[in-house]
A = this chain, B = another copy of it.
Amino acid sequence: MTQNIEIEVKLPDFELDLFLPYLLTEAAEKLSHDLAAIYRDAGLSTPQWRVMVHLSYSGQVSVRDIERRVSMEKSKVSRAAARLELAGLVAKRGDPDDGRLVALGLTEAGRALMAQLLPRAIDYQRQLEATLGADLPLFHKALSRLLNKEAPE
């Protein structure tokens, strides 16, 4: 007859406050949330904002280009672009050379909107850089190391 022994499994110590995936997520969500105040009044969602930003400093661009550059699902890009077109901020044409591609570009209204929003985003970036001060280059270096690190296993 075996005894019924209650074994309390011992868990390793774990400091959530030092856990980098958690910390980074927190920081990213905070910055994105604060930034969103800039474009939300203009009726833009976050995916729409990202598309607009990309179109602001690129010329004619396909959905696939944005997908790769901003790492957004192509369906997300597609839907964001559709709404931006409805709002008159983005023009969507077929690429004359390749019938599969769509050529996205800002309309004049889109450029006018971004001419208002981008300076505010740049200003926010300046504030963040000021917050980091002299540590900024090192912070960038650290981020790019994390981004380029290959996945484990």
Contacts and interface: CB of A to CB of B under 8 A. Distances in A.
Interface of A: 8-16, 18-21, 23-35, 37, 53-54, 56-57, 69-71, 108, 111-112, 114-115, 118-119, 121-122, 124-125, 127-129, 131-132, 135, 138-143, 145-147, 149, 151-153
A62 B70 CA distance: 38
A contact face: mostly helix, strand, loop, or mixed: helix
Given A16-B70, A20-B128, A26-B71, 4 more contacts: A9-B114, A12-B118, A21-B31, A131-B145
State how many copies of this chain the complex holds: 2
A57 B13 CA distance: 7
B111 A8 contact: yes
Contacts of A23: 140, 143, 147
A135 to B, nearest CB: 5
Q: Which 7 pairs of residues, A with B, have the shortest CB-CB distance?
A: A28-B28, A24-B28, A21-B31, A9-B111, A25-B28, A34-B151, A139-B142
